[in-house]
Amino acid sequence: MIFTKRAGLWLLVMATSVLVACSSSAPKKSTGGSNKSVAEETIAAPGTSILPAGPATPNPYLQNKPSVSREISQQFADATRAMRNKQWAQAEGLLQKITVANPKLSGAYLNLGLVYRAQQENKRAEQAFNDAIAANHTNLDAYNQLAILQRESGNFSAAESNYKKALSVWPYHAESHKNIAILYDLYLGKSAEALPHYEAYLQLVGGEDKQVKSWIADLQRRLGITAKPKAVEAAPAAVEGESNE
């Protein structure tokens, strides 16, 4: 696929992650079972879903909502409002106060990273995204934002690793599937690996993304795959939810 066809995509990514909810301390990582992510499995045969069988599980990041004071809650609301209005200095000051008062609020670090990104302070943004992950290893948006920075700097292997980490945390995260597919398709030349992730993304959003449908059709053509006439079946609903905290 031609890069200019999707050049505007990365300009929209940050907007989709702005105002991410704060989360509580990360739940303890399981010591049992496999740590292998969906993205690390053998490449699926055409038309075979790489999503786990059975109903979708809840987003673990949103299952551990924090208990915060009214003051912190108000500061977070004020910071997100400042971000919407592109009042970056005000947003930065408020978010820094939050992280000092409660260093376990992962979402505050994530939004702080987005503030730095908006001001082209990529080193500080990278540190903030890493801090968000350190505060809560289930913060999927932090993995994705860090990976985008790494992709933009040409560190494709690190970007791939962080997308895979996000999918190992929650294999139903639609944006992680789409982002790793774009990385494979546009930057790493791994068309066969990109296709199942595009298809997984389409399943998770109910098949309603016409642009991704066109990318899938293009990939299938280049890979010599005959597209099935049947529409992609939607995966079981994966509720992510929202919080104003």
Digit-by-digit pLDDT tens for the chain (245 residues) are 433 334 333 333 333 344 444 433 343 433 333 343 333 334 455 567 999 999 999 999 999 888 889 999 999 999 999 999 999 999 999 999 999 999 999 999 999 999 999 999 999 999 999 999 999 999 999 999 999 999 999 999 999 999 999 999 999 999 999 999 999 999 999 999 999 999 999 999 999 899 999 999 999 999 999 866 555 555 555 544 433 34
Domains and CATH numbers, the chain: 69-136 (1.25.40.10), 162-227 (1.25.40.10)
Q: What CA–CA distances, in Å, run from 38 to 22, 57, 65, 77, 232?
A: 26, 14, 26, 35, 19
Residues in CB range of 182: below 8 A, 6 or more apart: 6, 9, 194
| pTM of the predicted model as reported, rounded to 2 decimal places | 0.76
H helices present in the chain, as ranges: 9-17, 70-84, 88-101, 106-118, 122-135, 140-152, 156-169, 174-182, 191-204, 210-223
Residues in CB range of 112: below 8 A, 6 or more apart: 92, 95, 96, 99, 128
